[in-house]
Amino acid sequence: MHSRVLHVVGLVAAVTAQALDKPTLYSDGLPMSDYADGLQQVSATFRAVGPPDKCVEEAMGNNACDEGDVEAREVTYGDCEQPWILCRCSNANMSMDDIMTKFSYVPPGIRSYVGGLIALQAPAASAYIAGNFIVFNSDCVIPVFIHESSHALDSGVSGSSEWKNAVNTSACVPDYYANSNLIEDFAQVSVVYTYLSKHNTAKADTTCLDPQLDVFRQSERLTLAQKTTTCLPDKRPFTLEASSRPAIGDSGSTTPATATPAISRSTAFGSASATIPAGSTSPGSASETSTDVTSTQTDIPGAGLQRTTAVWSWTVVTVSSLWVISLY
């Protein structure tokens, strides 16, 4: 973790040079930590499995915990026949249930682009994705899960001339974090688009974002990822394999929480059957530090907690953007 942090700091100057410098729609960050409110939660069945090598490597590489303290859960969501293995260090701020629930709220078509994830302990919330594997530090809200997954969805769109033009012709970007660069902007717009799709409002007039939203609306691939009610097995970049290490944790199942009345949404889960293709991790690595500025009440979907308008915002930027851009 420490070497990574230094790495981030070293790149800040370079990243700043690419800042978009556009007006922002939300001056205090995306007001979307109530994302799950009114949405139906997908069911899940799960069991503890031996932590995959990848999770152990990430835990130890980040100096977050020892091999024996990595937990893994194989989760099969009601909208996807192919399970994911989700990991955490046993001291991570987010519980396994938190992680499983928050990831379930990433629309299945976007979730499909993510191979795996791990949650670690840290003083403040942050997250990054590298090689379609997400590392969450501390307690991240659902929009951060969507943001990171959207980096995997990106697959080069944010580096395209279409996206650059869309940004140039838009009167705004979502927030100051989106102003970091085209990659972060794409992921933030994806969060706004997802929120808008689910809630029919984005708590602001998004007209100034239209050229960017239109890229999503006009792309068959991005529209499918957003709208499908089942996962897209052929988009899964890889699946983690359970190891023979001891499995720590529970097995069980969750039934969908009842949607709170404000906005109800029917989620029809069909069945998808397909085999998961091997390999092919698309390029992409980005990282960010996020600070949940107001919310001490962590966002536990389905808990029906009253929240004040939690304003969360991402403060810092990015890693390896240069590397990412050159890959694109």
Ligand X SMILES: *[C@@H]1O[C@H](CO)[C@@H](O)[C@H](O)[C@H]1NC(C)=O
Kindly state the helix (H) or strand (E) to which residue 73 belongs, with its residue range: strand 70-77
Q: Are 288 and 12 in contact (CB under 8 A)?
A: no
Q: Within its chain, how far is the Cα of 227 from the centroid?
A: 16
Stretch in the footprint of ligand X (CB under 6 A) among 109-117, 121-129, 152-160, 185-193: 121-129
Residue 113 sits at the vertex; the CA angle it makes with 251 and 195, to the nearest 5 degrees, is 90
**Taking the CB of residue 326, how many other CB atoms lie within 10 A of it?**
10
**Taking the CB of residue 267, how many other CB atoms lie within 10 A of it?**
17
Site string for ligand X, 69-108 (x = CB under 6 A): ------------------------x---------------
121 binds ligand X (CB under 6 A): yes
Kindly state the DSSP code that residue 9 receives in the 8-state scheme: H
Largest CA distance in the chain: 54
Site string for ligand X, 144-173 (x = CB under 6 A): -----------------x--xx--x-----
Which of residues 124 and 171 has its CB atom nearest to ligand X in the complex? 124
138 binds ligand X (CB under 6 A): yes
CB of 188 to ligand X, least distance (A): 18
139 binds ligand X (CB under 6 A): yes
Which of residues 123 and 270 has its CB atom nearest to ligand X in the complex? 123
Site string for ligand X, 169-198 (x = CB under 6 A): ------------------------------
Strand-strand pairing, 84-89 and 116-120: parallel
Which of residues 124 and 224 has its CB atom nearest to ligand X in the complex? 124
Stretch in the footprint of ligand X (CB under 6 A) among 29-37, 96-104, 117-125, 170-178: 117-125
- Total number of residues that touch ligand X (CB under 6 A): 10
* SS3 at position 191: helix
- CA-wise closest residue to 143 among 209, 204, 189, 208: 189
By CB under 6 A, name the binding residues for ligand X.
93, 121, 123-124, 138-139, 161, 164-165, 168
